């Protein structure tokens, strides 16, 4: 079994972004800037946001951390996003999800201009992905594709099974994999006999948010296991795959932490730079 080392590969992606940032600074005399909007103080979200901001610093991207109290209204949140949307100094806008209960995240995300949408969640970017055109794609699926590419794991012609149908991971990954000529099955909470489906897969991607859901008996020998999950349990942080039993059977597997997590952050930086470029050619 070979570990898919997200820390290692994310550092390569980040070095690449740093070069692009340096070029931008000398060519445009501007610093690419990302606004990270967080509502409330969900502890997990706070950790993710802190990691994103630290990573920005590392590659020379400026970050603006907008922290809003969870007692604000939907309207106040939307006013803030509208402000960032028209601010020429801001190149990317990320609204950390999930928002606290009572907020309408779709309505908030709709206000992000397509060329500042570093999460690839707006209708225009989703349409580009489905059509196979070059838009901004959500960070985690991009990270999965880059991780596999680094290890020369071919996806063309392979059977890929994705568990989880979120707009941030499962659905966009379905299209990335399909566009890369994989045969893709998207499973979710209503899928029946899921093990029968995962057993057929050359590559299984777990993105459902259930600790140790994918077990050794659900995959075939030599499968590639990509674990997007991160769950807080009594045993500490664990993924959606049961690493200890799967590691004997898999050909490649991501660790948790240190697999997909660092890749997501690195791709966010890349998307911020891509958004910067899109705004220069307006």
**Residues with active-site annotation:** 52, 96, 119
Distances in Å between the Cα of 136 and the Cα atoms of 21, 25, 64, 205, 209 are 18, 22, 20, 21, 24
Instruction: Give min distance, CB of 27 to ligand GUN, in A.
Output: 29
Within 104-123, the residues that bind ligand GUN by CB under 6 A are 119
Q: How far is the CB of 171 from ligand GUN (least distance, A)?
A: 13
Residue 24 in the binding site for ligand GUN (CB under 6 A): no
Find residue 33's DSSP bridge partners. 62
Give phi and psi for 273, each to the nearest 5.
-65, -40
As a whole number of angstroms, the distance between CA 224 and CA 220 comes to 9
Residue selected from 139, 187, 194, 260 as contacting ligand GUN according to rule CB under 6 A: 139
The nearer residue to ligand GUN, 38 or 201, going by C-beta atoms, is: 38
Residue from 33, 63, 140, 270 in contact with ligand GUN (CB under 6 A)? 140
Q: Which stretch binds ligand GUN (CB under 6 A): 25-33, 65-73, 89-97, 176-184?
A: 89-97
Does 10 interact with ligand GUN (rule: CB under 6 A)?
Answer: no
Looking at beta carbons only, is 197 or 266 nearer to ligand GUN? 266
Tell me the residue nearest to ligand GUN as measured from the CB: 97
Applying the rule CB under 6 A, the residues between 38 and 57 that interact with ligand GUN are 48
Which C-beta is closer to ligand GUN: that of 168 or that of 218? 168
The tokens of 126 are what?
A: 């989703």
Instruction: Decide if residue 272 touches ligand GUN (CB under 6 A).
Output: no
**Contact residue for ligand GUN among 17, 81, 84, 94 (CB under 6 A):** 94
Looking at residue 184, the DSSP 8-state letter turns out to be E
What whole-number distance in Å separates Cα of residue 156 and Cα of residue 159? 9
- What would you report as the CA-atom Rg of the chain, rounded to the nearest whole angstrom? 19
168 is a contact residue toward ligand GUN (CB under 6 A): yes
Q: What is the DSSP letter of 241?
A: B
d(CA 164, CA 29): 42
Helix (H) or strand (E) holding 178: helix 170-179
CA distances from 259 to 34, 39, 121, 194, 225 (A): 24, 27, 23, 24, 11
Comparing CB distances to ligand GUN, the nearer of 121 and 177 is 121
Q: Does 97 bind ligand GUN (CB under 6 A)?
A: yes
Among residues 63, 198, 264, 272, which is the contact residue for ligand GUN, using CB under 6 A?
264
Tell me the three state secondary structure of residue 146.
Answer: helix
Under the binding rule (CB under 6 A), the answer on residue 77 touching ligand GUN is no
For helices 260-280 and 139-150, the axis angle rounded to 10 degrees is 110
Minimum distance from residue 2 beta carbon to ligand GUN (Å): 26
Compute the C-alpha angle 3/243/42, nearest 5°.
Answer: 100
Applying CB under 6 A, the residues found at the interface with ligand GUN are: 48, 94-97, 119, 139-140, 168, 264
């Amino acid at each position: 079994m070979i570990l898919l080392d997200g820390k290692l590969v994310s550092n390569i992606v980040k070095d690449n972004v740093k070069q692009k940032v340096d070029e931008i600074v000398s060519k445009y005399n501007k610093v690419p800037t990302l606004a990270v909007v967080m509502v409330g103080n969900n502890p997990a979200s706070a950790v993710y946001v802190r990691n994103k901001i630290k990573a920005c610093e590392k590659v020379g991207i400026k970050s603006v951390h907008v922290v809003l109290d969870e007692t604000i209204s939907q309207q106040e949140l939307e006013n803030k996003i509208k402000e960032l949307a028209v601010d020429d100094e801001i190149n990317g806008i990320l609204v950390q999800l999930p928002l606290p209960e009572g907020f309408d995240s779709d309505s908030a995300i709709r206000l992000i201009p397509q060329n500042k949408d570093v999460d690839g969640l707006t209708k225009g970017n989703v349409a580009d992905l489905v059509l196979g055109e070059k838009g901004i794609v959500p960070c985690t699926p991009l990270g999965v594709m880059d991780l596999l590419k680094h290890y020369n794991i071919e996806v063309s012609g392979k059977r890929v099974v994705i568990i989880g149908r979120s707009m941030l991971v499962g659905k966009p990954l379905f299209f990335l994999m399909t566009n890369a000529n994989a045969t893709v099955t998207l499973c979710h909470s209503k899928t029946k006999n899921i093990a029968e489906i995962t057993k057929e897969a050359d590559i299984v991607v777990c993105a459902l948010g259930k600790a140790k859901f994918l077990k050794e008996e659900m995959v075939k020998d030599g499968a590639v296991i990509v674990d997007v999950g991160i769950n807080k349990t009594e045993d500490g942080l664990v993924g959606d795959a049961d690493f200890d039993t799967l590691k004997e059977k898999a050909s490649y597997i991501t660790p948790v932490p240190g697999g997909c997590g660092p890749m997501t952050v690195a791709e966010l930086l890349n998307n911020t730079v891509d958004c910067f470029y899109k705004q220069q050619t307006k």
